[in-house]
Amino acid sequence: MPADTRGNIILELENIGCLRRLRLEFKPGINIIKAPNASGKTTIVRSFSSMFSDKIPPSHILALDELKGRIRVYYGEKIYEKVFRRTPSGHVIVQGDMLPFADPRAFDACVALAETDIVHRITGGNVIFRRYLENLSYGNYYSALIEASQELVNEYGRKLASPSFRNFEILPLLLTELTDLHMRRDEIRQKIENSKKNQEDKLRKIKLKIAEKNSALSQEKVLLSQLYRDLSFEKEREKSLQELLSMAGESSKIVSSIKISIASSQDRQTRLKNEIKTRRCLLKELRRKVEDLREKLRREEKGPLEIKDLEEKLEKVNKMIILKEEEIQRAERFPSDDAEYPGKLIVDVRSEILRKIEWLEMVMGYFQEKYMRCMTSARRRFNDNVTRAFHELNLGGFENVFLDQDFSLQVMREGNIRQPIETLSASEKLTISLLLMLAAKETFLPEFPLFIVDELTLSYDPERFWRLMEYVKRRVPYLIVTSLSSSLSDTPKVIHKP
């Protein structure tokens, strides 16, 4: 392995945590920060971490009683500085640069503090590492995209379930009802037309009958008048015959002939009178019939009741059609004062939303597959690195440690016996935490030059601790470890082990 030619890293702190001023120098290899309790070891780790990760809030870094603090790092012949300022409202704001290898994921993979995610999980007995791997492998980007797409789909779904769209869904029913109403109207109109036609036929027939009867009446009048003239003539003739008879004297032949003529005339008069009588009755009958027909005509001309009923029904149906058309218009179009879609056709907006959902579902499918591939690959590589670490370190008692398909941590004892994480000892939990972090660093941050361990080593025996540290040192250029010292000096010191 070629010698590491990296330079030293200098960390300068001013008014940070409990430290007023401090300058520490880290060299490639193992750097042990030694100090007694409450002398600022964790402050050093946190402040240094804030130069490559934004996971630690600025308010946790600046000294509580100071308005301004500073972190300065000399790395690769450059200076990187962050200045912390307390505002009058008490907030702490920060300005400055991050180190060139800064990566927000590094805090979870390369800094073993009590509050570090993985240490917190293991000591708390939480065995699900999906979110942890998501963050490290950027699978969280895909899950964020899926989540955002799903939220949009849900929002669109809620829109489609709103009253405007629900009304639109009954549109086919409304249109069917409108069609029925139109059919009903056509039917009534047809009935009215038929009734009117029948009525016209009826009136024409009555008028025709009246004309016929009037014609017959006229003929009868002419005939009657002829009969009266004939009767008058016969009366005149009889009178003349009677006068002639009185002048005829004794001549029996003439008298007899005149008497025969008189009798004949009287007979004819009788027949004529009978005829006149009959004709007068007939005339009277005809007049009555004409009068009846006229009366009937007057009645019919007023129109039958059926048409009036039908016209009332038609009016009602017309009103219903207008109301239905208004209802359809409301179901078809957003109101003009609608905040989002004023006056737009609901069918257009609905299609637009459905197409958006269609696209978002395609997008979700695409990112879901990417997420699965990303996470499967991340888990496989992570497990490979964990397995290698365990085998290389040859830590007694463990067969293997790995994440199963559900990203649940499985700890296998020798003999392939699964051990629940909560039953592990404190040192075993710490060992596993450190190895998982190291595997995460090797898998996801292979170029990151630091690995920091803060006082998590109290429960280790020196032999195991140094075996672990040597293993880490082979993989990380700068290993920084804090350690409790019994020295009387409060100032943290760095002891370097190449």
Partner 1 sequence: MPSIRDAGSSIPYIKELEKVALKILKENSNYKERLKEILEEYASRYSREYNIRT
- Report the interface residues with partner 1, using CB under 8 A: 104, 140-141, 144-145, 147-149, 151-152, 351-353, 355-356, 358-360, 362-363, 365-366, 369-370, 373
Residue 50 or 385 with smaller CB distance to partner 1:
50
Nearest approach, Cβ of 81 to partner 1 (angstroms)? Answer: 22
The DSSP-derived string for 218-238 is HHHHHHHHHHHHHHHHHHHHH
Residue 102 or 484 with smaller CB distance to partner 1:
102
Nearest approach, Cβ of 162 to partner 1 (angstroms)? Answer: 18
Distance CA 78, CA 99 (A): 10
Nearest approach, Cβ of 144 to partner 1 (angstroms)? Answer: 6
Nearest approach, Cβ of 193 to partner 1 (angstroms)? Answer: 45
Residues in the chain: 498
Residue 295 or 358 with smaller CB distance to partner 1:
358
Distance CA 73, CA 120 (A): 28
With tokens 């020295």, the residue in question is 487
Nearest approach, Cβ of 136 to partner 1 (angstroms)? Answer: 12
In terms of C-beta density within 10 A (0-12 exposed, 13-18 middle, 19 or more buried), how is residue 49 classed? Answer: buried
Residue 242 or 376 with smaller CB distance to partner 1:
376
With tokens 């009037």, the residue in question is 214
Residue 152 or 216 with smaller CB distance to partner 1:
152
Cα 309 off chain centre by: 49
Residue 21 or 356 with smaller CB distance to partner 1:
356
Nearest approach, Cβ of 133 to partner 1 (angstroms)? Answer: 15
> In 3-state terms, what secondary structure has residue 482?
strand
Helix-helix angle 171-247:252-301, to 10 degrees: 170
Amino acid at site 136: L
Distance CA 498, CA 478 (A): 10
b/e map 52-68, b = 16+ CB within 10 Å:
bbebbebeebbbeeeee
Distance CA 405, CA 349 (A): 43
The DSSP-derived string for 182-212 is HHHHHHHHHHHHHHHHHHHHHHHHHHHHHHH
Nearest approach, Cβ of 347 to partner 1 (angstroms)? Answer: 14
Residue 358 or 414 with smaller CB distance to partner 1:
358
